[in-house]
């Protein structure tokens, strides 16, 4: 009885995995652009903030994640919103099979990240 359940569950998992792997006409391009976005984010994080040290920073207190985010996050929030929205539109167009709309959304992402 247990072997039968394992076979049924395995078959279900296999079927589910093949459904999720259906690629649209723009999937590879989306993956490439997402990799470039991730690389840009990693480079920006490694570079660190470039603002001068504030008087509050000299009070011998450790910065909190929220204070670090407030200091460095405001500068790029608008670009991040554009990137998130365009990537979502690209994925929706890819799911719908609309290659032109997908490529247009990816062009917006590339313009926002400066490539």
Contact call for residues 111 and 99 (beta carbons, < 8 A) = no
The predicted model scores a pTM of: 0.58
pLDDT at 90 > cutoff 50:
yes
Which has more confidence, 23 or 113? 113
- Give the pLDDT confidence of 91-108 residue by residue, as tens digits: 999 999 999 999 999 999
3-state secondary structure of 76: helix
Give the pair of three-digit tokens for residue 17: 């995995």
Provide mean pLDDT across the span 86-92.
Answer: 94
Residues 6+ apart with CB under 8 A from 7: none
Q: Residue 89, Cα to own-chain centre: how many angstroms?
A: 13
- Give the pLDDT confidence of 3-52 residue by residue, as tens digits: 545 544 454 555 544 444 557 889 999 999 999 988 888 887 777 656 67
CA distance to 12, 15, 20, 32, per residue, from 89 (Å): 30, 27, 19, 16
Torsion 5-9-10-12 (CA) sign: positive
Provide mean pLDDT across the span 62-72.
Answer: 71
């Amino acid at each position: 009885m247990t072997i039968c359940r394992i076979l049924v569950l395995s078959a279900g998992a296999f079927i589910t995995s093949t459904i999720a792997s259906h690629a649209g006409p723009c999937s590879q391009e989306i993956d490439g652009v997402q990799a470039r976005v991730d690389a840009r984010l990693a480079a920006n994080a490694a570079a660190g903030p470039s603002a001068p040290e504030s008087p509050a920073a000299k009070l011998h207190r450790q910065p909190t994640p929220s204070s670090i985010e407030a200091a460095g996050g405001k500068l790029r929030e608008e670009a991040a919103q554009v990137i998130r929205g365009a990537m979502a539109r690209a994925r929706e167009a890819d799911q719908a099979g609309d290659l032109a709309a997908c490529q247009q959304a990816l062009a917006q992402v590339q313009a926002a990240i400066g490539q």
